[in-house]
Amino acid sequence: MKTLVLGGYGNFGARISRALAQDAGIELFVGGRDLERATAFAQSLGGNARGVRIDAQSPDLAQGLGFLGVDLVIHTAGPFQGQDYRAPQAVAAAGAHYIDLADGRRFVCDFPAAMDAAFHRAGRIAVAGASTVPALSSAVVDHLAAGWQGIRSIDICIAPAQGAPRGEATLAGVLAYCGAPIRVWQGGRWTEQPGWAHPAKVQFARMKPRRGALCDIPDLELFPARYAGVQSVMFRAALEVGLTQHAFAFLAFLRRTGLLRAPQKLAPLLHATGGVFDAFGTALGGMVVRVEGTDAHGAIARRAWHIAADDNHGPEIPCMAAILLARRLAHGEALPVGAHACAGLLTLPEFDPEFARWGMVTDVIDEDESAAGHGTPAL
């Protein structure tokens, strides 16, 4: 299967390219605006990989894909906050499958309605959000609550390692909603809370506690619709160095008071200076998903899934869903035609070999009320 990775030598694209280059069923194109970089990286992969010059936002993208005879496009050239659907529209016009790593709330949540007709006409599948959220997060929630009568609350926190590689584009996407009002489903109704403000303590199984703050991701909107009866959905990010977490909270304060209108403009500066704090952090990152609900016997249940990723391998996690889906397509597995947000397309056990590949450790813990309270909003 001819597979093009847009942004194929970037922070996440390179990881996906390395994984797929080892699959005998995939002929890989490493795509980017810089042909020299794309070609050099493709040559380092060996096998059937080759570099191509291609721009995800080019008006000629569909023709370029048709010329290459591409069967699948994996779009990693973020940030997706503020992106339109020109790239997936071009992929549909070229008659190829489409997968992206988007975590922009509007991009992912509006994707099915915007793109379903085009991909149905093409007879292909399109998946937005094949990343940590909502692909992995929904797989975890489904696993934890399997057999339950209902879910009352979902609380997720991602805790990146300080030493993990950081992309300027990713940082800009995060800063875009720093201090901005975010719609959050709490107490069975929609409320607004400021992004990155008011950090709260979060407990992890194999990491020290951190303080996490609200981030704007698709799960906040997808999960209240996906899990009938859920009363609260929360997502936080917890930076390892406390000073940087408080710095984001301060930027949120400045935006809320009108003193800083566009925090994302600080991305180049913060990206350039972020390494100063690396000496105060480690190579250990992780994630926790907590659910509370009613089990099969009608009793209150609280379960948590934890993952710990050492050696700065945490950035491999956002790439896993796209890799797994690409392999399924390459091996001839039928996936539902049309456009989808990537919730429920993968099960948690499908991720296990990828976790093992990178030495990541997972735990599922039944928590009592006191343990669940750390990092979980009061309901």
Q: Which amino acid is at 244?
A: T
Q: DSSP string covering 307-328, please?
A: EEE-TT-GGGHHHHHHHHHHHH
Provide the edge-to-edge strand list for the sheet that holds 232-237.
200-202, 210-214, 232-237, 150-159, 285-294, 300-309, 361-366
> DSSP code of 101?
-
Q: Which amino acid is at 321?
A: A
275 has a pLDDT exceeding 80: no
Please identify which residue in the block is written with the tokens 């994630």: 287
Q: What are phi and psi of 281, to 5 degrees?
A: -115, -165
pLDDT digit string, tens, across residues 41-65: 999 998 789 999 999 989 999 999 9
Are the C-beta atoms of 90 and 65 separated by less than 8 Å? yes
What average pLDDT does the chain have? 92
Summarize the confidence of residues 322-349 as an average pLDDT: 96
pLDDT digit string, tens, across residues 306-315: 999 999 999 9
Are the C-beta atoms of 51 and 21 separated by less than 8 Å? no
Of 176, 138, 316, 309, the closest CA to residue 240 belongs to 309
Please identify which residue in the block is written with the tokens 């992995």: 136
- Return all residues near 355 (Cβ < 8 A) that are at least 6 apart: 307, 361, 362
What whole-number distance in Å separates Cα of residue 156 and Cα of residue 217? 11
Higher pLDDT, 67 or 166: 67
Q: What percent of the chain has pLDDT over 90?
A: 80
Task: Band the pLDDT of 374: cuts 50, 70, 90.
Answer: very low
Q: Which amino acid is at 251?
A: L
Task: Band the pLDDT of 369: cuts 50, 70, 90.
Answer: low
209 has a pLDDT exceeding 60: yes
pLDDT digit string, tens, across residues 90-137: 999 999 999 999 999 999 999 999 999 999 999 999 999 999 999 999
What whole-number distance in Å separates Cα of residue 361 and Cα of residue 122? 40
- Return all residues near 299 (Cβ < 8 A) that are at least 6 apart: none
**Cis amide linkage into residue 377, ω under 30° from 0:** no
Element (H, E) at 150: strand 150-159
- Return all residues near 164 (Cβ < 8 A) that are at least 6 apart: 283, 285, 312, 314, 315
For CA atoms 367, 373, 377, 379, the dihedral sign is positive
